[in-house]
Amino acid sequence: MQKRMKVLMCAYAVDNKDVGEAHLTWHWINNISKYVDVTLITMGSRINTTCGFEDHPNVKLCIVKPKITFRWTGAFDRVIKPDYVEFFFRAHKLAKQLVSQETFDVAHHIAPHSPRYPTPLYGLGLKLLVGPLHGGLQMPSIFQSTRKAHFLRRLVTFIDRIRQTYDPLMSAHFSSTNKLLVSAPYVKDALPPQVADRVVVIPPQPPEQLEVAPDRVESENLRLIFVGRLIESKGIRLALEALAKVSSSNIEFNIYGRGPLEDELREFVNNKNLNSVVNFHGFVTHDDVLKAYYSADVLLFPSLKEAWGLAVSEAMAAGLATICVDRGGPGYMIDEQCGKKIPIMEKDAMVSLIAEAIDELAASPEKTKAMGMAAQARIAREFTWNRLVEKLLSLYKS
């Protein structure tokens, strides 16, 4: 019987009951731990008393809770993670202690997923992998707003570029890392040129799926669906403006999500006489979203800066064709067999192309169905946990 590898892992936050990065990180570690023994340095959950690994047979939990707390919330907390500084130094100290007490085969810094955070696992004398990394996408220049709401992100991006060159912790981070794992080719552009030969593209995180998928109900209409926050970067305004230009009459569009643009979008729908076509469902549970995919034909998701694209992978797994922007995660996951990709160009031109794509799919139900089947097959073939873990284990051993 082959001996299981021992992996020292670090993940800033992990939680099987949370959403977002902490939840995704839990899935990563849970699947990897089926094949290796993991010692995990983490702050655990940021919102719950447990993180999901307390009694796990293959994960030894080492909790490092920051003692300094911050009152900032919202975008600042998501972008900056102010308590990461304390976590970094305490986690590095603990990692050195652990390495002095037991033998590990490899170290893996798994989260945060943004390239801006240095790993506490540097300088341990172990082979070090960092990732999956994604993010770093900015709004396309022709869509960038001068509103103050975007000032923080522009400032952070500027600081990131300076830190990659002059920050000694980032220098130690990159010099110690043997492999930088990225979830899509575009991420490589956000990393320093000197690490290009150590970048490895691995399959994106597989989507969650219903244990028992509902039967798909056929419809004479082309049923479009959007899932996400109602904000500029998600492209929901482009989607509705395109819908106002389509020539097909057999269209319905279901929108799942809330956000600051909701009132404005509802007014647009009313002014364009789209009330019989567009339905706002607001926030619903994740299971309800997964069920909603089976009452749709096409994911209409023209997000302008989507780092990964959870909605896209979920829709593909449910057998939907996709209309998306050819950028970031969706641009990587969708090919011409799975959907229609819209290039970045002037807004009016993009709106026209989206409208043309909708009309094309509405006129050809057979083509739409074939794209959905191709998308489902692509997920099953390339974006699975077995495929991802197999790739990761080969990197651990190489």
- What residue ranges do the domains of the chain occupy? 6-202, 222-382
- DSSP assignment string, 156-215: HHHHHHHHHHH-HHHHHHHHH-SEEEESSGGGGGGS-GGGGGGEEE-PPPPPP--SSPPP
CA 302 to CA 316: how far, in whole Å? 15
Q: Which residues contact 130 (CB under 8 A, 6 or more apart)?
A: 108, 109, 119, 173, 177, 179, 180, 181
In 3D, which of 79, 43, 84, 46 has the Cα closest to residue 61? 43
Which pLDDT does position 148 carry in this prediction?
Answer: 47
Asked if 111 and 27 touch (Cβ cutoff 8 Å), the reply is: no
Cα dihedral across residues 188, 193, 194, 197: positive or negative: positive
Asked if 289 and 208 touch (Cβ cutoff 8 Å), the reply is: no
CA 292 to CA 271: how far, in whole Å? 27
User: Across the strands, what pairs with 256?
Assistant: 227, 282
In 3D, which of 105, 144, 99, 117 has the Cα closest to residue 43? 117
Reported as type and span, the H/E element at residue 255 is strand 251-256
Q: What is the chain's pLDDT, residue by residue, as a tens digit (398 residues)?
A: 578 999 999 999 999 988 778 888 999 999 999 999 999 999 999 889 999 999 999 999 999 998 877 655 555 555 567 789 899 999 999 999 999 999 999 999 999 988 888 999 999 999 999 989 887 677 887 876 645 445 656 666 666 666 666 567 667 777 889 999 998 888 888 788 888 899 999 877 777 777 777 888 889 999 999 999 999 999 999 999 999 999 999 999 999 999 999 999 999 999 999 999 999 999 998 889 999 999 999 999 999 988 878 899 999 999 999 999 999 989 999 999 999 999 999 999 999 999 999 999 999 999 999 999 999 999 998 888 888 999 999 999 98
Asked if 15 and 61 touch (Cβ cutoff 8 Å), the reply is: no
Q: Between the CA of residue 347 and those of 61, 93, 238, 320, what are the distances in Å?
A: 49, 50, 8, 25
CA 359 to CA 165: how far, in whole Å? 48
Q: In what order do the strands lie in the sheet with 6-11?
A: 59-63, 37-42, 6-11, 106-111, 128-133, 179-182, 199-201
Which pLDDT does position 151 carry in this prediction?
Answer: 61
Amino acid at 238: L
**Domain 222-382 sits in CATH 3.40.50.2000:** yes
Which pLDDT does position 156 carry in this prediction?
Answer: 60
Label residue 287 exposed, middle or buried (CB < 10 Å: 0-12, 13-18, 19+): exposed
According to CATH, the superfamily of the domain at 6-202 is Glycogen Phosphorylase B; (3.40.50.2000)
Asked if 116 and 161 touch (Cβ cutoff 8 Å), the reply is: no
Which pLDDT does position 155 carry in this prediction?
Answer: 63
Write down the number of H helices and E strands in the chain: 13, 13
Which pLDDT does position 46 carry in this prediction?
Answer: 84
User: 222-382: same fold as 6-202?
Assistant: yes
Which pLDDT does position 213 carry in this prediction?
Answer: 79
Residue 162 corresponds to which tokens in the numbers above? Answer: 């300076």
CA 131 to CA 85: how far, in whole Å? 19
Provide the whole-model pTM: 0.82
Helix axes 236-243, 262-271, angle to 10 degrees: 10
Cα dihedral across residues 337, 210, 383, 293: positive or negative: positive
